[in-house]
Amino acid sequence: MQSEWTLWARRDQLPPAGDWTTWLVLGGRGAGKTRAGAEWVRGVALGRPGSAPARAGRIALVAETYADLREVMVDGISGLRHIHGRAERPAWEASRRRLVWPNGAVAHGFSAEDPEALRGPQFDAAWCDEIAKWRHGEETWDMLQFGLRLGPRPRQIATTTPRAVPLIKRLLADAETVVTRATTRANAQNLAPSFLQAVVGTYAGTRLGRQELDGELLEDREDGLWTREAIERGRVRAAPELTRIVVAVDPPAGGGARSDACGLVAVGLGSDGRAYVIADETIATPRPELWAARAAALWRRLEADALVAEVNQGGEMVRSVIAQADPEIPVLAVRATRGKWLRAEPVAALYAQGRVVHVGAFPKLEDEMAAFGLDGLANGRSPDRVDALVWAVTHLMLGAKGRGPRVMAL
């Protein structure tokens, strides 16, 4: 029963249905990607139903290096020789870098460091491991495609932790690619509890954690003000004593069901002169009484000094709903007189100088920051979280220097 993979596999580890050429498995560290790739190769080599239209007789195994080929794909704990039962286990011929199954199927090993080695051989199936790390990614992939020409329906699986490299973007855009995703936590039953507590607990929500544990493909916008690298450099676990705390509110435009979210971000001024982002409680609701209540609750919980609210969209409404939520909150109303990009530029400069940092991780806010571009939008939508962040940091760090927003008392 241990060798019956279909009894133990998660759905994302089983071959997808349909007529596809490439199965791209994106996953975090320890998510079970290698096992999925090895089991698929096992299935096509043995002609198991559901793995491929027909049994594969010649298979390509492509790793980052020849060492990875042997230590991970062939002899690793989730490698090909480990997962087969004794009667069906292939033999490794080290001098020829190939696996030979008792039924005659053969898998040849290759390294992405030597794309030219794939010029000439031909296959009806292939497994490519950690393609996002390949030094000559596109060259190696292209050479493999020319050789994938045997059988009624040649297919390949690519298993990797994602990175925003050209090859990954190319495969994601290919109509012949089917994608499955898995996180490290999805495979928790096969991982040491100490690893989950120490590593997953430490990196959860950070750029590194989202890439290496959650298997997310994270990109920066070419015309963006912020880069994920810059945000990551300014991440701390705890803030020093905060001399002042501000909650900033960017109310949704209009009030209909399709209105924007209400940006709600809190920033504190540290005793070291830096601004510390300490909360993002942005709420997606068209109902003013709900976002006002959320803002008031955050202000009370943090014992904030002021609440900064943009009033371009209905100043009287903003005053009214916040007063109803808590009449004692000191509100500073700000009115935007410049475009979003121009307002955000000096704040982004403070990030570049290391004068604004994040206490912990704020994935949704950071995604919006990385996607914020010259058009003043983030992924085609209003950047509500960024707007609130900009108002808060501007009030704490820039207002006294004459570069802040136009402020009115309510």
Q: Which residues of 188-204 are buried (b: 16+ CB within 10 A; e: fewer)?
A: eeebeeeebeebbeebb
Angle at 394 between CA 392 and CA 398, to 5 degrees: 145
- Side by side, which strands form the sheet with 155-160? 91-93, 98-100, 106-111, 58-63, 125-129, 155-160, 22-27, 177-182
Q: Report which secondary-structure segment, H or E, holds 238.
A: none
3-state secondary structure of 171: helix
3-state secondary structure of 85: coil
List beta partners, residue 407.
Answer: 334
Cβ 101 vs Cβ 90: under 8 Å: yes
Q: Per-residue confidence of the chain (410 residues) as pLDDT tens digits?
A: 666 787 888 999 999 998 999 999 999 888 899 999 999 999 999 998 888 888 999 999 999 999 999 999 999 999 999 999 889 999 999 999 999 999 999 999 999 999 999 999 999 999 999 999 998 999 999 999 999 999 999 999 999 998 888 899 899 999 999 999 998 888 888 888 888 777 777 777 776 777 778 888 777 777 788 888 888 888 998 999 999 999 999 988 754 444 578 999 999 999 999 999 999 999 998 788 999 999 999 999 999 999 998 877 655 678 788 888 888 888 888 887 778 888 899 999 999 899 999 999 899 999 999 889 888 888 888 899 999 999 999 999 987 443 444 343 33
The phi-psi region of residue 402 (left if phi > 0; otherwise alpha if psi is between -120 and 50; otherwise beta) is left
Tokens representing 353? Answer: 């100088």
Residues in the chain, total: 410
